[in-house]
Structure 1
């Protein structure tokens, strides 16, 4: 494979990308990352999985998590500033470590991003099925309910990234207003026993340091997706500047929101009572009933809008990853097709949308049935754990790629490109091990082996490509945004 042929393939891939350039600004990129974290969903449903361990100290756990995620994000921001591509991690690892590792990263990203929409189909369906039954005595199968947002997701994706993010902006704003408003009402009322900063102290943990560590493992799930703005690199104005800023701003904003709202939750139910909260609890429903009964429907609306925003934005991300891998020859060319009018990867949208619906229904059918809400709930639980096992190794690989890339480029800075990525690697490996150790019941104990089998399959695919289509593998990760000229002007 000569340099001239490789360069020709790179230029051809660039010219055929077809996505709408300069379609979004910094605000749109921030919304992409912030909304995919799902502030309302994460605030309403995630802290109670940490509380059996960290108890009243859960706000401190989220504060520590915020710092850890910022450390992890530093390497991603460095790479997104140098390699603006819709392929995101796939491109970063390809350029930093090599094409085979990049292909494996793409496979893991597919698990992480592609499973989020079907997971949200299950969660929306089960949550709304239970809510309709409780509030109105109406019972509709969860999968029927879930099909409605799934179809809307596909329609928005076909219309283009601007339509998807415009919808996400409205939903994100609504959910933040509701969760912040209810938190402020709790604080204004003085909580159950008065305002206190005790929940921000390690001494508030009923199980000491070990409780904080285990609580951290579950709290970190609330930040998954913080990097999503990177997949918009080819559609954002001035991507080398705006994408890193979007990642930073979204992590800080959503992280601070988490800390404040979880603190409000703890003082709202009471420091002592928070130690008894577990994953089966619905504390925010109780908080609304206690401090603002009129806001109960708003809490339901915020939860629903947050779930849908996560669905829409995660779908936007995975469609662009599939598109990039398709146009670079890593996947069938059908994924590379772009609608000339709307500048959207039409077939990638339809394939991913169909995949989401089929996976949600199949997993629900096998795990709890299509009529009972437990089926939809299991879809969310099982796929959520699987996608977490997929994304954490990607964070590790990207930070390794950061170190290698900047050493090769001759722009290595020991703190930004050495110390911070190494620390991020240790944190993410520890988090991955913790995730596996905390799940002791089937089928969760099977899932690490399922991910290992998937990685083995993807590695086999990378080896096959290296032998049968070395020209394609040689230019993997070459397609990057052409927004630099706009920046210079």
Structure 2
């Protein structure tokens, strides 16, 4: 056995995930996490309203370039480190075991906060929809709990089932948005078609830092391709291809979709339309160009889009917990694999319980599901992922400089370095504008770091600190286990 000194650990063969996922299936899993229709209908209007207005679509393209540079190094690492721990493993190999463990806890914070934020929004949308159709007024948190239960059932079973469900939902929501863009193009838009969103003066207008925050948040999940390594058909080929396909596909789609949204109302009117009601902008646009049928279909797909998002993140989190358990830093039982479903079923159950507890806490404190649960924790996740990817970029460079295993300078040094610079600048901008995300602003609208901002930002410091403390404890109490901390991840 290669597991840490822990009694009752099952044989490693029983703790390794297996599957035959191809490039398309993995891309579906991670792109569904980006929740395309939720981004186009929710984040894009807010990016236009609170960010840089007409120039917001360009920020998706800029974010895609930054993250594509990051993906080059990520793909290079996936070829040389055949393990599914992703950030946890890569940072551990490049910057040491303690920093790797800190990265694991940042990743857990990222995916948990983004998932629970969407659970809040999903519960609200479901509650609102039922009420608007003449049904009873059901509390949002009850709807959220119902969705958690459904996600838990799918997450408990074999991942092929989840990928099929996600694939169907993803095709439907991407399809309806592309139909809308086509309708706008064929009609010529409200003020004619133009490249106004990509004009430098529009890109730098308003609050581009806030816009960048919404843009990067839309990509969260693409980097998780490596976590499915053990379940990939040919991981050395599948994982790099899936990573590139995911970031390029997301970037092109969001840039095109948000450009279409601006063209639908015209550069001179889009900000006012978003200000009227950002939450309904996509539905009003659908009604304008595709009629009532398009509006109804979009409303349904908006719900399924968010469901696909939480299901995808559930699968990602359970596999992170599975990898961490097999490394001996989470309870051993989380590393178990179901004999029939071949899924990390115990980890799935624990993740389900975690979501239930968090939604329960938010409900007890009577937090608004959209303005607090969704907005606040999406902000935390965005900052955390930017920091985590910047850290991983450094780890990639250090690892290849030390090991000399890959002589491709662009893939192992230049691209990761450029990605690091872009990610650090993004993190600085996100932090500077973070108070706007949570509503901590002065009378004149300038950001002010209040209690809520400081509490949420503190989470990004506390979680990696947990990793460093845990690593120090393992090194002191179980030195042999510490020496194997990175290598003992099942793979």
- When normalised by structure 1's length, the TM-score is 0.90
2:461 corresponds, among 452, 468, 484, to: 452
1:31 corresponds, among 10, 28, 31, to: 28
Contact 2:324 2:489 in 1 (8 A): no
2:439 counterpart of 1:430? no
Q: 1:55 to 1:335 in 2, by over 3 A?
A: same
Query: Where does residue 336 of structure 1 map in the other structure?
Result: 335
Contact 1:95 1:405 in 2 (8 A): yes
Partners of 1:385 and 1:141 lie apart in 2 by: 24
Q: 1:264 to 1:135 in 2, by over 3 A?
A: farther
Which sits farther off after the overlay, 179-188 or 399-408? Answer: 179-188
2:384 counterpart of 1:390? yes
Q: 1:129 to 1:274 in 2, by over 3 A?
A: same
2:194 counterpart of 1:188? no
Deviation of the 1:130 alpha carbon: 2.1
The within-5 A match list for 1:15-414 is 15-16=12-13, 18-51=15-48, 52-136=50-134, 138-205=136-203, 208=205, 211-276=207-272, 277-278=274-275, 281=278, 282-292=280-290, 293-368=292-367, 374-375=368-369, 377-410=371-404, 411-414=406-409
1:339-362 deviation line (CA, Å, top 9, x unaligned): 112211221111111101111221
The gaps in structure 2 that reach 5 residues or longer are 441-449
1:117-154 deviation line (CA, Å, top 9, x unaligned): 32222110112222333343642111111122211111
Deviation of the 1:280 alpha carbon: 5.1
What value does the CA root-mean-square deviation take over the aligned residues?
A: 2.3
Partners of 1:465 and 1:129 lie apart in 2 by: 46
Partners of 2:257 and 2:474 lie apart in 1 by: 48
1:37-79 deviation line (CA, Å, top 9, x unaligned): 1111111111223223321122222222221121122211111
Contact 1:13 1:327 in 2 (8 A): no
Partners of 1:68 and 1:272 lie apart in 2 by: 29
Partners of 1:98 and 1:473 lie apart in 2 by: 11
1:422-474 deviation line (CA, Å, top 9, x unaligned): 11112111111211211221413321123212322321111111111122221
What is the SS of the residue equivalent to 1:86?
Answer: coil
Q: 1:467 to 1:195 in 2, by over 3 A?
A: same
Contact 1:364 1:376 in 2 (8 A): no
Q: 1:388 to 1:53 in 2, by over 3 A?
A: closer
Deviation of the 1:325 alpha carbon: 1.1
Partners of 2:392 and 2:14 lie apart in 1 by: 23
What is the SS of the residue equivalent to 1:192?
Answer: coil
Q: 1:13 to 1:103 in 2, by over 3 A?
A: farther
1:5-32 deviation line (CA, Å, top 9, x unaligned): 98998xx999346344243112111112
Query: Where does residue 417 of structure 1 map in the other structure?
Result: 412
Contact 1:147 1:357 in 2 (8 A): yes
Q: 1:197 to 1:109 in 2, by over 3 A?
A: same
Deviation of the 1:367 alpha carbon: 4.4
1:466 corresponds, among 469, 475, 485, to: 475
Contact 2:2 2:488 in 1 (8 A): no
Partners of 2:432 and 2:296 lie apart in 1 by: 37
Partners of 2:488 and 2:266 lie apart in 1 by: 53
Partners of 1:267 and 1:307 lie apart in 2 by: 25
Contact 1:77 1:247 in 2 (8 A): yes
- When normalised by structure 2's length, the TM-score is 0.90
What is the SS of the residue equivalent to 1:272?
Answer: coil
Contact 2:17 2:337 in 1 (8 A): no
The gaps in structure 1 that reach 5 residues or longer are 369-373, 483-489
